[in-house]
Amino acid sequence: MSRPRKWRRVCCLPGSNLFGPLNAKFDEDDLVIMTVDEYETIRLIDLEGMMQEECAEQMNVARTTVQRIYNEAKTKLAQSLVHGKLLKIEGGDYKLCTEEKVRPGCGMCRRRAELDKINLEG
């Protein structure tokens, strides 16, 4: 009997979930699927500038798990860029932090909500 997979905490879903060359035809064989938790590691490490340890804490997983997820995500990004394949973000073992009962929203979510409020008012 295998151990159940641990849900990864994800702050937000991507605004778009399909990326690729403008002239690409939608072909299932040329489609690279990136999970939402892989997307989250790219967002946290590369965009937010977090270290793997911080990312692991944010996502509620071990650092070694973040390292594995991050490496898989980078490989998928490279396949999409180098081979001109469409990249689709979907699926994975995740829960949005707004869905959690113990910790309703992470610091990232609160900061984003504050920035959205400022942008709407200003």
Tens digit of pLDDT at every position of the chain (122 positions): 777 777 899 988 898 999 988 887 777 778 999 999 999 999 999 999 999 999 999 999 999 999 999 999 999 999 999 998 999 999 988 998 875 444 444 555 555 555 555 656 65
Q: Which CATH number applies to 8-96?
A: 1.10.10
Predicted TM-score (pTM) of the model is 0.77
* Residue carrying the six token digits 């309703």: 104
pLDDT at position 120 is 63
Q: Where are the domains of the chain?
A: 8-96
Neighbours of 7 (CB within 10 A): 16
CB 30 within 8 A of CB 85: yes
* Residue carrying the six token digits 């909500």: 113
